[in-house]
Structure 1
């Protein structure tokens, strides 16, 4: 219900109207007047040329915030405390238990997240491996080139063919060994991801009881 403040101007208008004294006292007994009584007062006696002018003599009554702030009951406080503890328990359970499904935009993705530092380290290892393979191939090729001349005394054409063949053979062997190593590492990662960590709750406390 809308209430208007009973200002001095409105009070004077009510006193000067043809309203019975008893009704006047009823309206003036309170600090506010309802919009229904104000409209009825205007329609009955027309104290002003228009209803808007009558409303301008007063102002809207706005209750204080404390009037809307009802005290919380013991049951409400107890229920809120229980809900808060349940929310904390669910959050704790979510932390200690691995979810079966991903809860991100990358659902059902088995790809492992690689941080920039880890990617840099892997790139460095790959470059080091490539350099080592190149050194191994170059060393064996040079040894074959030198040995075919000093020990066998072969023609340069045969020496080139043998050097290239041995270099390719060493290169293939190095690549096969390296790929086998990568496969072993990948299998170890998959096995590690498939392992399930088992956690048990020893005891829980109910603070609401």
Structure 2
């Protein structure tokens, strides 16, 4: 309630006590001893404005001025029963004991299927053997060679376009432009096809070279005794490729 509503209630009580008594309903806030800040329902304000209109020029908007929604306080919580208090205490004690036990004896880490069976993927349906690494780490020479190759391809495309443009100087500009673009595209496709074939042959050669068996020959054998003598052994690896690779190792 605002001071204006309190004054309006007093005026209605003085002008028409019988109609004022009808404003009070059992399910609505009490209007007796009206004080600023007391709750009042919207229905009571509507009926009050209708009652005052019969005797004085009063509007509902003037009664609603400076009002705010009333939020009743939350009802008090019911007291906790002894059984509930005992149950919560027991649950807290169990949780603390479980946490302490986990801290002293942590569970083992969860092991994934791939960690437990690392070679299971090799026996799965549709699985293929791991492909051999055909591409070694790129060196500076490889990168330099590829950059030079790209520059050569671009120079070839530009040269062909300029040559076709100059050779067709007696044609119209549209035909010269179309012929130059067609020649450039054609030489670009040819360069890419040739380079792709070269790369494929190099990869095939690497694959064949790596699949060649390596033949080893025993050069010397000895008997190991209790002494701490060290001997050297030379193992010669003979392959079908050119050259002979020597491997030297020390054995105790």
Please give the TM-score of this superposition, normalised by the length of structure 2: 0.36
Larger RCO (CA within 8 A; separation ≥ 6) = 1
Bigger helix share: 1
